[in-house]
Amino acid sequence: MTNKVVVLGSLNVDTTLHIAQMPKPGETISAKSKTNSAGGKGANQAVAAARSGATTSFIGQVGRDSNGQFMIDALKRDGINVDHINVDEADGTGSAVILLDEHGQNSIMVYGGANQAMKPAIIADSESLIDGADILISEFETPQEVTLAAFKLAKKHGVTTILNPAPASQLIAGLAEVTDLIVPNETESASLTGIEVTDTASMAANADKFTKMGIKNLIITVGDRGAYYHTPADDGFVPAFKVHARDTTAAGDTFIGALSSQINKDLSNIEDALTYAQKASSITVQRLGALPSIPTKQEIENEYK
């Protein structure tokens, strides 16, 4: 079975300036090189889902500029349906400028642009797309009000909703009740519940808090240690695959996209899907960059025969 996955999320063009050291206030320095790449949590998640075999569609917004076309073309290369990407006449395409020095330290400045200008009204045009999906994913690089509108439609049509609460922010009223599965990292989970994640007992306490909010299913990712999962039927901890990480960019997004490609609508195979997602992200961290580092299903299966 091939999952039909819809991602509602961000589209950013990342510009990385490679420099010797960070500039001091008022200092002008020269960059050794510059690279442009497709990014944004939404784009990363959609590409991860598509490369793991899911029939993937995207709901998002770009500006009427060359960066917008760059992002649309990047998604098309992975066979992602881009018919529901809106073009905003007033705001530019989202972007990030990354200063990366010789020691691997970075400073990042993000312009939300068209991502943050999205309005809930545009979701009505995507109802038929959502109706045909198995899984709908969203995160917090686009307005929560837009996610709420989309998740309400998803629940109307029996579609499973996955929320990645990143960057960390408190949930707006009503969003928890239409979220089937929430997937934070340990920092985001603690931010939402007020309970620090230190061990499995504290993870279970986080799960209890999310259940009280109205979200019955939880996965907390804890980097190279692994991931904790909790459902009304079961809970457990799956250790990560031990690898030498070169670049953790897009690891979390790869996890969520890969997970969405494998998980059943009723989440009955959550542990198996989680294990597959960890295999995918373990490959991502061994490679440089965001989209270029995301593996295909064949690469994952070849790595973990």
Q: Is 73 annotated as a binding residue?
A: no
Give the closest residue to 256 by CA, choosing from 182, 186, 204. Answer: 182
Q: Is 164 annotated as a binding residue?
A: no
Q: Is 91 annotated as a binding residue?
A: no
Q: Is 185 annotated as a binding residue?
A: yes
Sheet of strand 217-221: strand arrangement: 81-88, 55-63, 4-8, 135-139, 160-164, 181-182, 217-221, 226-230, 235-239
- Give, to the nearest 10 degrees, the angle between helix 41-51 and helix 66-76: 20
- Give, to the nearest 10 degrees, the angle between helix 200-213 and helix 186-193: 50
- Measured in Å, how far apart are the chain's first and last C-alpha atoms? 20
Q: Is 40 annotated as a binding residue?
A: yes
Q: Is 79 annotated as a binding residue?
A: no
Q: Is 284 annotated as a binding residue?
A: yes
CB 52 within 8 A of CB 258: yes
Give the 3-state secondary structure of residue 15.
strand
Question: Active-site residue 234, yes or no?
Answer: no
Q: Is 20 annotated as a binding residue?
A: no
Q: Is 81 annotated as a binding residue?
A: no
Among 91, 134, 253, 272, the one annotated catalytic:
253
Task: Detail the residues annotated as belonging to a binding site for ATP.
Answer: 185, 221-226, 252-253
Task: Detail the residues annotated as belonging to a binding site for substrate.
Answer: 12-14, 40-44, 141, 253
Q: Which residues are catalytic?
A: 253
Task: Detail the residues annotated as belonging to a binding site for K(+).
Answer: 247, 249, 284, 287, 289, 293
Task: Detail the residues annotated as belonging to a binding site.
Answer: 12-14, 40-44, 141, 185, 221-226, 247, 249, 252-253, 284, 287, 289, 293
